[in-house]
Amino acid sequence: MSDLVYTELISQPYQNCIISAGLVAGHPVDTFYLRFDRNDESGLTILLRPDEMAAIAYCATGTLWSHLEELV
């Protein structure tokens, strides 16, 4: 799938990595991507459908919320 076009919508840089996400065009099903780049290593890009992106957001938010509840 070399005809994919990525449009970055958000990026969060850290000292040793960058997490970014955005839209992908040209794929028959997936319309979002999530990318992890660490230093000069080859990055990991995951192509996702809207429901899969929502599931990741749900799981991440639930995990963070549960962690905060443990601290109280």
Report residue 68's pLDDT band, with 50, 70 and 90 as the boundaries. Answer: confident
- What DSSP line would sit under 4-67, residue for residue? -EEEEEEEEE-SSEEEEEEEEES-SS--EEEEEEETTSPPEEEEE-HHHHHHHHHHHHHHHHHH
**What local confidence, expressed as pLDDT, does residue 42 receive?**
77
CA 7 to chain centre: 13
**What local confidence, expressed as pLDDT, does residue 1 receive?**
55
Query: Can you give the residue range of the structural domain that contains 62?
Result: 5-71
> Rounded to two decimals, what is the model's pTM?
0.83
pLDDT in tens, 21-65: 999 999 999 999 999 999 878 799 999 999 999 999 999 999 999
What is the arithmetic mean of pLDDT over 61-71?
90
